[in-house]
């Protein structure tokens, strides 16, 4: 991937989308969001619609952060946190010594009511039949590589903590500058793919997204009526 210049990081999303073709965006999109492949035609339709919308220029920014864990999604716990085979699962409760049975409580060989089994009735398993600690329980299913994870949010300045862009009008999306940490090599196609996923998070049209916004506002109002502020119950 080619290095992205400082000038490229200052471009608006609208300009970036105008510089890329759908084929290269689709390749990045499917590579980073494989579960959305079934809706690829819907994303394509939105992508083409964004190219026809006039950007509403604003001082707002689109911030992209790569939050993919370096050690994978499930880091291995340190060895010292694993109990040894001889350790008790309840270290604060010392195990009481087992009582030693008296000699008279042990049955003599002649008093055993069970018949004597011939030798070889229970063959000892060979060492190669026992799984080693490093062997995989599912050798035929190789581990799938971890996908990259991105967080996208909006902010008005570098000192702003940021807020969600989920319900931002598309024209305002296009008019915002794209920002990301220096040193990260994001191609224009990848930037377009990431933002396209976020733009369509709640629907593939602005009408669908607005409907979802109103539904969430209504739900929040209902919750606030059922659970009033704690201040009303302060003594």
What are 59-115's pLDDT values in tens digits?
Answer: 899 999 988 864 354 444 444 444 444 444 445 555 555 555 554 555 555 555 555
Band of residue 195 on the pLDDT scale cut at 50, 70, 90: very high
82 vs 53, which has greater pLDDT?
A: 53
Looking at residue 77, what is its pLDDT?
A: 40
The residues, ordered by sequence, that sit 6+ positions from 204 with a Cβ below 8 Å of its Cβ are 39, 42, 43, 45, 46
Scan for tokens 């001889």, then name that residue. Answer: 86
Band of residue 16 on the pLDDT scale cut at 50, 70, 90: very high
Lowest average pLDDT, out of 132-136, 140-144, 188-192, goes to 140-144
Cα dihedral 13, 19, 23, 29, rounded to 10, equals -20
Closest among 62, 59, 54 to 196, alpha carbons compared: 62
For the question of whether the overall pTM of this predicted structure is more than 0.85, the answer is no
Closest among 11, 8, 99 to 55, alpha carbons compared: 11
Distance CA 146, CA 34 (A): 12
In this prediction, residues 223-227 reach a mean pLDDT of 85
pLDDT at 122 over 90: no
Band of residue 119 on the pLDDT scale cut at 50, 70, 90: low
Distance CA 213, CA 220 (A): 11
143, two tokens: 């581990």
Looking at residue 93, what is its pLDDT?
A: 53
pLDDT at 142 over 60: no
Percent of the chain predicted with pLDDT > 70: 59
74 vs 186, which has greater pLDDT?
A: 186
pLDDT at 123 over 60: no
pLDDT at 47 over 90: yes
Q: Rounded to 5 degrees, what are φ and ψ at 216?
A: -70, -40
Distance CA 205, CA 196 (A): 12
Band of residue 192 on the pLDDT scale cut at 50, 70, 90: very high
């Amino acid at each position: 991937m080619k290095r992205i210049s400082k000038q490229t990081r200052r471009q608006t999303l609208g300009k970036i989308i105008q510089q890329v073709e759908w084929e290269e965006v689709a390749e990045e999109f499917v590579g980073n969001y494989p579960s959305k492949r079934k809706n690829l035609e819907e994303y394509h339709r939105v992508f083409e619609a964004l190219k026809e919308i006039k950007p509403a220029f604003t001082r707002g920014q689109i911030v992209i952060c790569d939050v993919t864990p370096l050690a994978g999604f499930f880091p291995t716990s340190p060895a010292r946190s694993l109990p040894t085979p001889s350790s008790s699962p309840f270290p604060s409760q010392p195990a009481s010594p087992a009582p030693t049975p008296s000699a008279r409580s042990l049955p003599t060989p002649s008093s055993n009511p069970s018949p004597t089994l011939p030798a070889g009735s229970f063959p000892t398993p060979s060492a190669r039949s026992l799984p080693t600690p490093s062997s995989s329980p599912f050798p035929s299913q190789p581990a799938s590589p971890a996908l990259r994870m991105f967080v996208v949010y909006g902010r008005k300045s570098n000192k702003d903590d940021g807020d969600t862009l989920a319900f931002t009008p598309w024209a305002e999306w296009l008019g915002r500058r794209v920002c990301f940490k220096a040193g990260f090599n994001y191609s224009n196609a990848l930037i377009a793919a990431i933002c396209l996923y976020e733009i369509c998070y709640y629907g593939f049209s602005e009408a669908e997204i607005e409907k979802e916004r109103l539904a969430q506002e209504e739900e929040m109002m209902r919750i606030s009526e059922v659970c009033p502020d704690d201040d009303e119950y302060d003594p």
